[in-house]
Structure 1
Amino acid sequence: MGYTEAPEGWWREFVLAKPARTGKLAVTRKDGSPHIAPVWVDLDGPDVVFLTSRDTIKGKSILRDGRVALCFDDEIPPFNFVTITGRAQVDEDPDQLKYWAGRTAARYMGDDQADHYADRNGVPGEMVVRVKVDKVVAKVNVAD
């Protein structure tokens, strides 16, 4: 295999790089089958943070189990990727919802759209999901 381990801490730069990459969130459905969906993310200290509705498959799985995995990758040779596994904690505080909805929107849509998305997505029924990271796998130069 041509890829190598990424330098310590490199994964944080990769996740936060511009243009922003969506995280691909993996959870399990109630019947145990897999489910994956893209999410807008940001980092807060050692945690990965995103929002989702409590009524989605993602939300229901997180409330039921809490174990999650995320994948970030680029599509430009020589290809790099990061996978993260951890436990999700949820927060439905209205101030936190608006704050994180605006902060993640600024990363993906631009600072000028942060307030719009904070108002649109920072609403009851949504949850701030904070992933407490257990394991990170970061590989660089996969095609080399």
Structure 2
Amino acid sequence: MADLSGDVRALLGARNMAHVATLMPDGSPHVSPVWIAVEGDHLAIFSAQENRKVANLRRDGRVAVSVCDEHNPYRSVVVRGRVVEELEGDEAVAIMDRMSNRYIGSDFPMRSAIVSLIEPERVHLQDLPFRHPSDAGT
């Protein structure tokens, strides 16, 4: 298992959207924007039972996650790993609500979902020395 440094945990624990890549049955990639959290040493994402990403992860637990800092898109982390546990019920709802409160300030309106816990295998933090030019005066 790869270590999640303090900088990586900060980026994953902020209100940044993540993009999760899973594998379709034919091996092609499927990418979904998701909320993300760090639960212990694992990443957590959630989805409805009938969602394509749940089916993909149950068949092949390999996953890649990309997160960019919402305030500086040149600061990002890419994590490759594997789903090691799936949670449902009260435990899943508690994680969903923690994420939802961080992202939108209230509990998640749906009360049922699948939480996938991802064990990170490779972690790459990138902080490029670029900034968007000011839009002032354009």
Give your verdict on TM over 0.5: yes
Identity %: 27
Q: CA RMSD in A?
A: 1.8
Offset at residue 77 of structure 1 (A): 5.3
Structure 2 counterparts to residues 57-68 of structure 1, below 5 A = 57-68=52-63
> How far apart in 2 are the matches of 1:12 and 1:87?
18
| Equivalent pair of 2:16/2:70 in contact (CA under 8 Å) | no
| Equivalent pair of 1:23/1:70 in contact (CA under 8 Å) | yes
| Equivalent pair of 1:77/1:141 in contact (CA under 8 Å) | no
| Equivalent pair of 2:44/2:116 in contact (CA under 8 Å) | yes
Q: Is residue 22 of structure 1 aligned with residue 8 of structure 2? A: no
Q: TM-score scaled by structure 2?
A: 0.82
SS in 1 for 2:74: coil
Q: How many residues align?
A: 126
Give the partner amino acid of 2:99: T
Question: Please, which of 108, 117, 126 is the counterpart of residue 139 of structure 1?
Answer: 126
Gap runs ≥5 in structure 2: 132-138
Gap runs ≥5 in structure 1: 1-7
Determine the structure 2 residue equivalent to 1:9: 6
Q: Where is the helix percentage greater, Structure 1 or Structure 2?
A: 1
Q: TM-score scaled by structure 1?
A: 0.79
Point out 4+ residue stretches in structure 1 off by more than 6 angstroms.
Answer: none
| Equivalent pair of 1:78/1:143 in contact (CA under 8 Å) | no
